Chain A
Amino acid sequence: MTRTSSSRLKLALRAILLLLFGWTLNVLPRRLVVLGPPQTVVTRNPKMGVHTRLTDEVEEWKIQRTLALVREMGAPWIVEYFPWAYYEPAKGRRDWGHADMVVEHALNQGLKVIARIDFVPQWARPEETTFRYLDRDHYPDYANFLHAFVSRYRGRVGHVVIWNEPNLSFEWGYRLPDPEAYTELLCQAYARAKDADPEVLVLAAGLAPTMAPPGSEWGMDDLVFLQRMYDAGAGACLDGLAIHAYGFTFPPDDLADANQVNYARAELLREVMVRNGDGHKPCFITEGGWNDHPRWTKAVRPYERIAYTIRAYEKARQEWPWCEAVCLWAFRYPWPLKTYQDYFAFVTPEFIPKPVYVDVVRYARGQPYEYLESGP
């Protein structure tokens, strides 16, 4: 064998080894988290739900664990936030990796997904504006993104929520809340979503429950905002209404009152719908609940939170036929926020169930409570 042919042989052997190595990498399981067999939710109350917060959860096993805990709690519904800016960082360039992961795991756990969509990418807003700033010129961009989202998850994500709390200036890019402008956005989004999937239910945004006085720089009364939406033609652009039903310091059985922000304020929003000929459309509580921060003036004691939470689920089941789901804020955060928000959670970032979770599980299973004195 000549020296040249010997070196060729060595080169060929090296190439084969390299190919073998590459093939090995390819056949090794790339996915460290497996979906597992499809699950179903066992519960005595099919309206139970939570708002998960998987937006910034990177690790797949944590997404899966979170959703498994939701299922084990007995809640068939989740609301999840899909920030437009995350999935379309440049116009027309979309990356669905994270959204696919969340939807896939949620469905595998037997959960129904309501998708909230907002958060404006940098390319769709002027410099030095916040992520909630969207002007009319870019409404079609939002609607196009929604079309892409609904197309991708057709038959898997059945509900989309257009924007979040547009009656707050903070959620409207620090501009005065504008129900007519929001309705224009809603109608453009509705048309494009229906183009993508006529079966998808388009929900108008959950409004922040507030009694802000007329002309307030910070927000607009939610009942006023909703009526002005209807006056602007929103009735033709929504299949249902998302509602934010926070109880703050009031028990869930306190009566609805236009001068009070409590859980039953949901009934007043419902009345606006009925008054405007939308009584046949459903509502979905996409945020709500109670907070047990030790000092926040809008919080309750931890034992009260447990009792109120369970009663809120039960009230919707017994008394609110127009309400299809009660998704309370918020199941778990990826990391401690170290603010009052941590005291809304059902489970810590380390997956330690809080007492409210423990007793809600028992409610859903019809078992005696661990923390509350009387059983369901």
Chain B
Amino acid sequence: MTSPQARRPGALRSALATLRRRWLWVLAALLVFLWLSRRAADVALGPDATWSQVHESKVLRVGMDASYPPFEWIDAEGRFQGLDVALAEALAARWDVEAQFFDVHFDGLYDALRTDKFDVIISALPHDRMLTRDVLYSHSYLNAGQVLLARTDAPPIASLEGLDGRRVAVELGAQAHQLARQLARDRGLSLEIVARQESNEVLAALAEGAADAVICDRVTAYAYMQQAPLVQVGPPLTDEPLVIAARLDATTTIREINAALAEWSQDGTLEGFKRRWFQDSF
């Protein structure tokens, strides 16, 4: 017979072991639940016909309105070009299939997807919250919203409030023009708006010292930053996430697209695409 003192460590070990076993059971149950939930979702939505079709035919059919350089356009030789084309070709290569492109007017893209004219839409497509029950969207691969760029060779502008008393260049009548007016009004900023008719004139206004900052969209910003000492101030002023769309049952397809986008975002592939295609975008 052992003494209570001698039994205590053994009891503690036993209690801890029981606890560990219980936690293991809870964890196992949780994993089973998650797996079943996912299976149930897959069963409810049905098999991903898109994924099967792409791999059986060895072709990824991509719908786009090829009239949006630098995202997509058709060159003089009739070839599809642009960031979205590069993205589609990279996806196709990753899945060991060929990319095939269909040029459809933007208004008809969703209907064409629905009627199986192609497998995915990759077309500088903004996320549309009204359609999330009709199609599946991937994660965003670019926020194309408006940004504020400031000269790095002038007194720094660290935030929007730093624009007070400064001159900001915009394209006359463009979204940036309205946004600059709105910022001045809503935030009470004393802002001199330097409006120019063309994008290159906006950049010239900066170069001539007629403006301290510029408001433009993220795509134009890439090009401006290649050609002038500019830095983006803060996060984008507006959000315009661009996404890839597939049919509602294309769960595997979208999962695989998201995995690719996450990987390419980490390893710099996406950034490389943007630098390559956006550098002359105005």
User: Are A303 and B68 within 8 A (Cβ)?
Assistant: no
Interface of A is mostly: loop
Verify if B26 is at the interface (C-beta below 8 Å from A). Answer: no
- When the two chains form the complex, which single residue of B111, B112, B114, B173 contacts A303, counting CB atoms closer than 8 Å? B173
Residue of B nearest to A350 (CB): B182
- When the two chains form the complex, which single residue of B68, B111, B126, B197 contacts A301, counting CB atoms closer than 8 Å? B197
Verify if B157 is at the interface (C-beta below 8 Å from A). Answer: no
User: Are B220 and A294 within 8 A (Cβ)?
Assistant: yes
1/0 per residue B61-80: CB within 8 Å of A? 00000011111010000000
User: Are B173 and A295 within 8 A (Cβ)?
Assistant: no
Verify if A61 is at the interface (C-beta below 8 Å from B). Answer: no
Verify if A218 is at the interface (C-beta below 8 Å from B). Answer: yes
Verify if A371 is at the interface (C-beta below 8 Å from B). Answer: yes
Verify if A24 is at the interface (C-beta below 8 Å from B). Answer: no
Known: A130-B114, A170-B107, A339-B126. A301 touches B198 (CB 8 A): yes
The complex places the Cα of A337 from the Cα of B126 at a distance, in Å, of 9
The complex places the Cα of A121 from the Cα of B73 at a distance, in Å, of 36
User: Are A292 and B67 within 8 A (Cβ)?
Assistant: no
Verify if A193 is at the interface (C-beta below 8 Å from B). Answer: no
Residues in B whose Cβ lies below 8 Å from that of A298: 67
- When the two chains form the complex, which single residue of A128, A130, A340 contacts B106, counting CB atoms closer than 8 Å? A340
Of A63-71, A183-191, A269-277, A351-359, which stretch is located at the interface? A351-359
The complex places the Cα of A128 from the Cα of B111 at a distance, in Å, of 11
The complex places the Cα of A56 from the Cα of B137 at a distance, in Å, of 23
The complex places the Cα of A21 from the Cα of B103 at a distance, in Å, of 62
The complex places the Cα of A341 from the Cα of B130 at a distance, in Å, of 16
Residues in B whose Cβ lies below 8 Å from that of A355: 172-173, 177
User: Are B105 and A170 within 8 A (Cβ)?
Assistant: yes
Verify if B171 is at the interface (C-beta below 8 Å from A). Answer: yes
1/0 per residue A153-190: CB within 8 Å of B? 00000000000000010100010000000000000000
User: Are A295 and B69 within 8 A (Cβ)?
Assistant: yes
Chain B proximity of A334: nearest CB distance (Å)? 10
Chain B proximity of A352: nearest CB distance (Å)? 7
Interface residues of B in 80-112 (CB under 8 A from A): 104-108, 111-112
Known: A296-B68, A297-B73. A338 touches B126 (CB 8 A): yes
Verify if A305 is at the interface (C-beta below 8 Å from B). Answer: yes
Verify if B280 is at the interface (C-beta below 8 Å from A). Answer: no
Verify if B174 is at the interface (C-beta below 8 Å from A). Answer: yes
Known: A294-B217, A302-B173, A303-B173. A174 touches B111 (CB 8 A): yes
The complex places the Cα of A294 from the Cα of B105 at a distance, in Å, of 17
User: Are B106 and A303 within 8 A (Cβ)?
Assistant: no
The complex places the Cα of A306 from the Cα of B182 at a distance, in Å, of 20
Chain B proximity of A374: nearest CB distance (Å)? 14
Tally of B interface residues using CB under 8 Å: 38
Interface residues of A in 331-368 (CB under 8 A from B): 335, 337-341, 348, 352, 354-356
Residue of A nearest to B195 (CB): A371
Verify if B256 is at the interface (C-beta below 8 Å from A). Answer: no
The complex places the Cα of A356 from the Cα of B69 at a distance, in Å, of 25
Residue of B nearest to A335 (CB): B130
Chain A proximity of B121: nearest CB distance (Å)? 12
Residues in A whose Cβ lies below 8 Å from that of B106: 339-341
Interface residues of B in 267-282 (CB under 8 A from A): 281-282
The complex places the Cα of A174 from the Cα of B130 at a distance, in Å, of 23
Residue from B175, B182, B197, B281 with most neighbouring chain A CB atoms (10 Å): B175
Residue of B nearest to A304 (CB): B197
Verify if B240 is at the interface (C-beta below 8 Å from A). Answer: yes
Residue of A nearest to B130 (CB): A335
User: Are B240 and A338 within 8 A (Cβ)?
Assistant: yes
Interface residues of B in 110-125 (CB under 8 A from A): 111-112, 114-115, 117, 124
Residues in B whose Cβ lies below 8 Å from that of A341: 106-107
User: Are A354 and B178 within 8 A (Cβ)?
Assistant: yes
Chain B proximity of A55: nearest CB distance (Å)? 13
Residues in A whose Cβ lies below 8 Å from that of B73: 297
Residues in A whose Cβ lies below 8 Å from that of B108: 168, 170
Q: A170-B108, A340-B68 are in contact. List 16 more A-B contacts (CB 8 A).
A: A170-B105, A170-B107, A174-B117, A218-B104, A292-B174, A295-B124, A297-B67, A297-B73, A302-B171, A302-B172, A306-B173, A338-B127, A341-B107, A348-B178, A352-B182, A355-B177
Query: Which residues on B are within 8 Å of A, measured CB to CB?
Result: 67-71, 73, 104-108, 111-112, 114-115, 117, 124, 126-128, 130, 171-175, 177-178, 182, 197-199, 217, 219-220, 240, 281-282
> What are some 19 contacts across the A-B interface (CB < 8 A)?
A130-B111, A170-B108, A174-B112, A174-B117, A292-B173, A292-B174, A294-B171, A294-B217, A294-B219, A296-B68, A297-B67, A301-B173, A301-B197, A302-B172, A302-B177, A303-B173, A303-B197, A305-B173, A341-B107
